[in-house]
Chain A
Amino acid sequence: MKKITSKGLSPYRKNEIISYGIAILGFAVISVLRSLGMVSSSLQGQLVPICAYVIMAVSLNLVVGISGELSLGHAGFMSVGAYTGIVVSGIMGTMGAADPVRFFAAVIAGALAAGVAGFLIGIPVLRLRGDYLAIVTLAFGEIIKNIMNIVYAGIDENGFHISTKSDYGLSAEGRMLLNGPMGATQVDRISTFFYGFILVMVTLFVVQNILNSRQGRAIMACRDNRIASESIGLNVMKNKLMAFTVSSALAGMGGVLFGLNYSTLLPIKFNFNTSILILVFVVLGGLGNIWGSMIAAIVLTVLPEALRQFADYRMLVYAVVLIVVMIATYNPAIRSRVSAFAEKYLRRKKPDAAPAEGGAD
């Protein structure tokens, strides 16, 4: 299909380059600043979570922005990935595997587990029309959280143990991996900013390649008009399922990165609020806008920390910033002032907004 569209695709390509640019530039600048010792310790500690949230936001955008389905349980897939990754990394650690091997094995396992979970949820739910996915993913997030609250796992000389009881016979020399409501404990913190950067690039590569492919066109067509899509022979359910499964797997990957960054990880960390936070990144960054999701995830992760000086007013300021950004990005007067390039991009994204703007002037 690309053969025919010669110039038509350029806006997609531009956005693609911006996204990669943000990731590479961000990584380069931070790396240089770090080598000069100019990165504050609080920011230092946030680098991996920022990468994880960027992955979460970009992957959720694939579902919410590009495939047009609401998901309220993205943190649930993050959780599946995180705990799978922690277990895999823990087991491999006792076998003496090198850190990079452990890390990437954990990433693959976490992505697979979360992808399978997404696929299984998607099969029944995406057949239905309406907001069922929102309801089911919401429930999924809560269910996963509650399951993780009662799972105990560990490894000792007798092998791997997993149970729903706290006395599951782990020997004294054994290594505890999951400890019910206490979550993961004694996790080796093997995530690094560099790994985070690599995973962000992988996520961008996967999502943006889907976006620019035949498959991506089909996914967006199904979002834009279900009946028209069926009339041209698209399998709407299959397209939506594909987007949802990929998104879940990427979320699992983000979860592994996040999980292996802390020595302990409580299941409660992946609650409804986290899902909503990721959704806020996506909505604020612009539905379907990949680099928008990245910027929103970065800014809104750094902001609460940066606002510490405002003490009790911190969340108030945070809320005000959210509102201002929302108003600013949807205000035609402000929008018309952004560069010609950005203008071009926005008009393309929201064609029906263009005449409305003209009419308002």
Chain B
Amino acid sequence: MGQLLKVDDINVYYGAIHAIKGVSFEVNEGEIVTLIGANGAGKSTTLNTISGLLRPKTGSITFLGEDITRTPAHKLVEKGLSQVPEGRRVFLQMTVQENLEMGAFTEKNSDLRGRMDRVYEQFPRLKERYRQVAGTLSGGEQQMLAMGRALMSDPKLLMMDEPSMGLAPILVEQIFEIIKSLHEAGTTILLVEQNAQMALDIADRAYVLETGKVTISGSAKELLENDKVRSAYLGE
């Protein structure tokens, strides 16, 4: 199990606001790692910094042994790092199929057909609706589409920002089932979630973020048994 991603002591600011204060963690090949934390803890900020949408003031980010701290967002997909951004950002005016095609935009001469078939296998709902305009999909379907689109680049690491946000419990279960099966199919996953219970159930390891700092970390099992985690994030 090689190391895929290493985040080393990053500090991120929004103007004068110090949003991330010295966060470090790593993701190894084949793992599901989850970042959990309350609203405003800095989870999205962390992901957006990794994916190049934000720049850390200090600290470094390494992906597959290569320093990507200052690599622009659009170059990371080619390197095998794909993000499903927060809030189901699909191309509303394009069809399901066109959205998926866009996901493989940076790939040249690759086996698109095969990948699309695999995505449709994972998400049968999308297959049924391949010609439907994305703007008319339900929230859950849009989330699936955003995930499917990210998978079209065949990423080595898939980062997801709150895939369960705003979905009915039954759909949340479905989404997590899919994440699990993606993982079983060999994709390494970095998952940001507020739904700590669900996230810890499927994750290998977890980090708890509180106001921009990692306060607790360990295997998912340990965290599920941690008293502080139980009272603060599992509502017990």
Contacts and interface: CB of A to CB of B under 8 A. Distances in A.
A230 B92 CA distance: 16
A205 to B, nearest CB: 23
Contacts of A354: 136
Nearest to B88: A228
Given A4-B112, A352-B92, A232 B136 contact: no
Contact of A233 (B91, B105, B136): B105
B91 A234 contact: no
B189 to A, nearest CB: 15
Contact of B51 (A214, A220, A231, A235): A231
A232 B106 contact: yes
B92 A234 contact: no
Interface bin, chain B? 35 or more
Contacts of A228: 85, 89-91, 146, 149
B190 interface: no
Interface string B62-74: 0000000000111
B73 A221 contact: no
Given A228-B91, A231-B85, A8 B105 contact: no
Interface string A79-101: 00000000000000000000000
A214 B106 CA distance: 11
B45 to A, nearest CB: 14
A230 B95 CA distance: 19
Contacts of A7: 131
A343 interface: no
Interface string A1-25: 1011101100000000000000000
Contacts of A232: 77, 82, 102-103, 105-106, 149-150, 153
A5 B76 contact: no
A346 B131 CA distance: 16
A231 B105 contact: no
Nearest to B90: A228
Interface string A343-361: 0000011111011000000
A217 interface: yes
Contacts of B89: 225, 227-228, 231
A5 B94 contact: no
A8 B91 contact: no
B124 interface: no
B208 interface: no
A349 B92 CA distance: 11
A224 B17 CA distance: 29
A47 interface: no
22 contacts: A1-B112, A4-B112, A4-B113, A5-B97, A7-B131, A220-B91, A220-B94, A224-B91, A225-B89, A225-B90, A227-B53, A228-B89, A231-B77, A231-B85, A231-B150, A232-B150, A233-B75, A233-B78, A234-B74, A236-B74, A349-B93, A352-B92
- Those 3 A-B pairs whose CB atoms lie nearest each other, nearest first: A233-B77, A228-B89, A351-B133
Given A4-B112, A217-B101, 8 more contacts: A8-B131, A228-B146, A230-B53, A232-B106, A233-B73, A349-B93, A351-B136, A354-B136
